[in-house]
Amino acid sequence: MTDGTRSGDPVHALLADGTTACIRPARPEDRPQLLALYREMSPEHLRLRFFAASRRSAEQAAERASAPPRPGYLALLAEVRGQVVGLAEYDWTDEPAAPAPLPHASRTTAPSAPSAPAPRTAEISLAVGEGLHHRGIGTLLLEHLVSAARADGVTSFTAVALAENRAVLEVFADLGLSVARRLDGPELHCVIRLDEDDTYLSAVEARGRGADVASLEPLLRPNVVAVVGAGRKPGSVGRAILRNLRTGGFPRWLFAVNPHVTSLLGVPAFPSVTSLPRVPDLAVLAVPAASLVPVAEECGKTGVRALVVVTAGLDAALGADLLAVCRRYGMRLVGPNCLGVANTDRGMSLDATFAAHHPRPGTVGVAVQSGGVGIALLSGLSRLGLGTSSFVSLGDKYDVSGNDLLQWWESDGRTEVALLHLESFGNPRAFSRTARRVTRRIPVLTVDAGRTDTGRRAAASHTAAAATRTVTRQALFTQAGITATRTIGELLDTAALFQSQPLPGGDRIAIVTNAGGAGVLAADACAEAGLQVSPLGPDTVERLLAVLPDDASAANPVDTTAAVSEEQLGLCVDQLAECPGVDAVLVVLVPTAVAAATGDDLSRVLSRTPGRRSRTVAAVLLGQDTSVSLLPCADGGHVPCYADPQAAARALAHAVRRARWLARPAGTVPSLTGVDASRAHALVEGWLAARPDGGWLEPAACADLLDCYGIPQIPWAWVRSEDEAVLAAERLAGDDGRVVLKAHWPGLLHKSTQHAVLLDLRGDGQVRSAYRDLETRFEGLLTGVVVQPQAARGTELFAGVVQDGVFGPLVMFGLGGTAADVLADRSALLAPLTGADLHDLLTAPRCAPLLFGQGGGGPVDLEGLEQVLARLSAMACDLPQLAEADLNPVLARPDGVTALDVRVRLLPRTAHDPYLRRLR
């Protein structure tokens, strides 16, 4: 059972109207509430549920659901504010197969791994309280039932309903799963397959998006706001928030909660939340930490739907109590320890922050964890004139997260660019899936905080040592299409370009300058950013020289000389912007007293030709006071103008990468043949049952696990004596008669550094001598020896996966063998890998040209390499117990790909459904 549901831990999730529901297994003490659920149903509702208006059937159903747990049966309840509002059940319709015993670890040929249990079918039933339909209760219950059933090995649901029961039939049809129907008289028999494919995930995602946005309405579009803890003394946080709400022009109901006054800053004040004349949608809490939970409890009982908690200094126990109150009463929570929230919509003008200045209205959505970063971004966006659509300071991020805000901005009709500054991720796989969708509609930019963390965790395998948190975050950003910048300044520089200019069609940059030295600086900056500054074609050169001063140079950079006039510069830019070999034009100017083509006249130069708007144009005005500004154009648009060429080049490079990401198909996870995930689960569970603390698999178990996923391995034998080694060598030696001996003992991972691998052995004598050498040197450690044929020459690579406790499985690929750690030539992406991800993973390392045949060796089996990585990705997603897998080396040749050495570590971990709808 995933997510602790079977163990009784509640899971909170959002209904279609934004209400919070608690999903949990039914317990014996729930019988009275279950009886009440059925007793309140109308006769017609009971007839559709039980095929007759039978009170007896209802009592039996309540008795069954509240009975003690039994194998093969699960009843899940939905509660809203402590009241049971729905019930979903499944019951196995067949007996599970008994698991086969785990095989012994020694083998010379592949043994049979534990057989997988036979597919199971379960019958389901669903009940929703009277008058509570169309709120998504039944659908949410079924989603959680599907997740639980999959973990139980159930592959399909069956259900019988009256054909006239359209409501429940629509619920089944709208799930996103494959449903087969068969009419039998008045009854409709349904079979629902539980395959988790993209159709189902997209349906779950769409429902989650609607519920998420609805739950944020009282937070960002409240009708009634109360500030609790607004003090009389100037300088208090609560008073500052109240002042900003009042002076910001919030047009709806605003109250202060303060027992000592009746009015504060012209706002009506009341002694408590319960005494307010209207129930607040949003309450902003600026009270001491010790008072938070009682105040939150009061808000919940009153019916408040959202809290913003600016209070800091909560310990773990107090934080848990605060979140529990919010969950119990269904309140969304921003914070604690936050700056507040704002929505600049003209009909809202909500500024519930204690920032010194009101945010300027605009089209950029901002979500930050750090209040200081938030203030810097708001200030920068106001200075640029971009402004903010909505702003949320997430603080310690107990509840509302960046994922929530992405979905809000996607649907608010105002936000055109999203800026994020996140120090942590609650559910990175769900965040990545959301971000992949949102970034195809609006740019999402972030500051990659924490990238200088050089402390590697103590890890034995190459894969785990390389999988730093920085690598993992960068993988998340890359796959999700998020533009990751290094500083706040770079974030604003890039946002200015994204907001004001079309994306470039490629990376070819034409530089125009009135000073040769400035042009050289710009060319260097572009090259360092990965952009091309290539010579212009002869026709373009001829046209440019015809409009420029006599001493001008029409190479790239184009040096117009200081004598260029505004008219000449404008014509030059026009020509370059229409040139087929140019994707973006960078105008770099130095203020001079020779001509008027700089300073205030720059905006006229850059806006003179409407046809140029289809191309990206940016400017650098050396010596300007601000790092970036937006120059207004005659057509109402803007051109970003930077203080130095490096800032402009970095912004252009980000724009090029975004354009490439958008041009690439979204990609799907490839379908794999020859995968036996059930057998792999049985093998892992059997191994961990005998070793509850986990550990490194023996060679035979490693091979069995890879066999379950069809990952090719070199033939091998496991031996414990000289004679066995000789016999195995005779069987395994290739045409040249050579074999390899590898020592093994628990915990041995880097065999080369221990000199535990002996190569190029021929004949009985060398094999015996090698075995005795290993036995002597590793006396007391050696548990056996692996014999393999000597592999043919090829490119040695490594492929691996490591489970990150926060981000999920990370697949890594790069140069292998003894050079794996020395050269650190590798790439990494988060599983599950799409076809596009697989291409990126293969082409990112510096060694990639070797794989494609550079150097005269011919291309290796690229399809085989993709298959190995795709199967590793599938194995990691299927098996949360897979802590690390290290395939090093993987031998790549034109005729195939083979893993020569494998290390796998398992840990006892509970399965976790990353796409199951739930609040953190």
Is pLDDT at 439 greater than 60 in this prediction?
yes
155 plus 170 within the same structural domain:
yes
The token duo for 694 is: 């986990």
Kindly write down the DSSP assignment for every residue of 488-557, as one continuous string.
HHHHHHHHHHHHHSPPPSSSBEEEEESSHHHHHHHHHHHHHTT-B-PPPPHHHHHHHHHHS-TT-B-SSS
Residue 317 lies in a domain: no
CA 4, CA 151: separation in Å to the nearest integer? 12
41 plus 163 within the same structural domain:
yes
Q: Are 722 and 761 in contact (CB under 8 A)?
A: no
Residue 850 lies in a domain: yes
Q: Look at residue 474 in the predicted model and tell me its pLDDT.
A: 87
Query: Where do the H-state alpha helices sit in 175-274?
Result: 198-220, 237-247
CA 268, CA 252: separation in Å to the nearest integer? 13
CA 232, CA 820: separation in Å to the nearest integer? 64
Q: Look at residue 457 in the predicted model and tell me its pLDDT.
A: 39
Residue 15's SS3 state is coil
How many structural domains does the chain have?
4
> Which neighbouring-strand residues pair with 620?
588, 642
Q: Is the peptide bond before 557 cis (omega within 30 degrees of 0)?
A: yes
Q: Are 877 and 833 in contact (CB under 8 A)?
A: no
Q: Look at residue 54 in the predicted model and tell me its pLDDT.
A: 67
The token duo for 633 is: 């154009």
CATH classification at residue 94: 3.40.630.30
The token duo for 9 is: 């831990």
pLDDT in tens, 26-42: 999 999 999 999 999 99
* Overall average pLDDT of the 593-601 stretch: 52
Residue 568 lies in a domain: yes
The token duo for 411 is: 């649907």
Q: Look at residue 848 in the predicted model and tell me its pLDDT.
A: 87
- Choose one of 146, 170, 195: the last residue of a domain: 195
Residue with tokens 């929530």: 404
Residue 453 lies in a domain: no
Residue whose C-alpha is closest to residue 890's, from 462, 457, 456, 460: 462
Kindly write down the DSSP assignment for every residue of 717-728, as one continuous string.
EEESSHHHHHHH
* Overall average pLDDT of the 4-17 stretch: 79
Is pLDDT at 462 greater than 50 in this prediction?
no
Q: Look at residue 603 in the predicted model and tell me its pLDDT.
A: 59
Query: Where do the H-state alpha helices sit in 824-883?
Result: 835-843, 848-851, 862-878
571 plus 649 within the same structural domain:
yes
Residue 67 lies in a domain: yes
Residue 597 lies in a domain: yes
685 plus 737 within the same structural domain:
no
pLDDT in tens, 467-482: 466 788 888 899 999 9
CA 851, CA 845: separation in Å to the nearest integer? 10
59 plus 80 within the same structural domain:
yes
The least confident of 9-23, 83-97, 392-406, 650-664 is 83-97
Biggest CA pair distance of the chain: 101
641 plus 762 within the same structural domain:
no
Q: Is the peptide bond before 832 cis (omega within 30 degrees of 0)?
A: yes
620 plus 759 within the same structural domain:
no
Strand 638-642 and strand 616-621: the pairing is: parallel
Q: Determine what percent of the chain falls in helix, strand and coil, rounding each to the nearest 5.
A: 35, 25, 40
Dihedral sign, CA of 405, 406, 410, 414? Answer: positive
Residue whose C-alpha is closest to residue 5's, from 26, 30, 33: 26
The residue type at 254 = L
* Overall average pLDDT of the 326-355 stretch: 96
Residue 467's SS3 state is coil
Q: Look at residue 344 in the predicted model and tell me its pLDDT.
A: 97
Is pLDDT at 613 greater than 80 in this prediction?
no
The token duo for 233 is: 């003394």
Q: Look at residue 819 in the predicted model and tell me its pLDDT.
A: 62
Q: How buried is residue 524: exposed, middle or buried, by Cβ count under 10 Å (0-12/13-18/19+)?
A: middle
627 plus 710 within the same structural domain:
no
CA 80, CA 225: separation in Å to the nearest integer? 24
Residue 753 lies in a domain: yes
The least confident of 142-156, 276-290, 641-655 is 142-156
pLDDT in tens, 725-773: 999 999 999 778 999 999 999 878 778 778 899 999 999 999 999 999 9
CA 473, CA 487: separation in Å to the nearest integer? 16
Kindly write down the DSSP assignment for every residue of 781-834, as one continuous string.
T--EEEEEEPPPS-EEEEEEEEEETTTEEEEEEEE-TTHHHHH--EEEEESSPP
CATH classification at residue 739: 3.30.1490.20
- Choose one of 157, 175, 195: the last residue of a domain: 195
pLDDT in tens, 208-234: 999 999 999 999 999 999 999 998 888
603 plus 689 within the same structural domain:
no
Residue with tokens 């609560």: 238
The angle, 0 to 180 degrees and rounded to 10, between the axes of the packed helices 699-708 and 677-690 is: 160
Residue whose C-alpha is closest to residue 629's, from 661, 651, 656: 651
Is pLDDT at 556 greater than 90 in this prediction?
yes
Interacting residues of 98 by C-beta distance below 8 A, sequence separation 6+: none
Interacting residues of 129 by C-beta distance below 8 A, sequence separation 6+: 37, 40, 41, 84, 85, 86, 137
The token duo for 652 is: 């252009």
* Overall average pLDDT of the 190-212 stretch: 92
* Overall average pLDDT of the 64-68 stretch: 90
Confidence (pTM): 0.87
Write 162-171 long-range contacts (CB < 8 A, 24+).
162/47, 162/48, 162/51, 162/186, 162/187, 162/188, 163/187, 163/188, 164/48, 165/48, 167/48, 167/133, 168/48, 168/126, 168/138, 171/126, 171/138, 171/139, 171/142
Q: Is the peptide bond before 889 cis (omega within 30 degrees of 0)?
A: yes
Is pLDDT at 599 greater than 70 in this prediction?
no
639 plus 697 within the same structural domain:
no
The token duo for 906 is: 């398992």
Q: Are 703 and 902 in contact (CB under 8 A)?
A: yes
- Domain of 740? 716-790
- Choose one of 143, 172, 195: the last residue of a domain: 195
The token duo for 302 is: 């009153």
Q: Look at residue 624 in the predicted model and tell me its pLDDT.
A: 87
CA 401, CA 334: separation in Å to the nearest integer? 8
756 plus 869 within the same structural domain:
no
Q: How confident is the model at residue 818 (pLDDT cuts 50, 70, 90)?
A: low
Residue 754 lies in a domain: yes
Q: Which parts of 15-92 are beta strand (E)?
A: 20-25, 73-80, 83-92
> Which neighbouring-strand residues pair with 681?
none
184 alpha-carbon distance from chain centroid: 45
Interacting residues of 56 by C-beta distance below 8 A, sequence separation 6+: none
Q: Look at residue 102 in the predicted model and tell me its pLDDT.
A: 38
Q: Are 11 and 144 in contact (CB under 8 A)?
A: yes
CATH classification at residue 860: 3.30.470.20
749 plus 692 within the same structural domain:
no
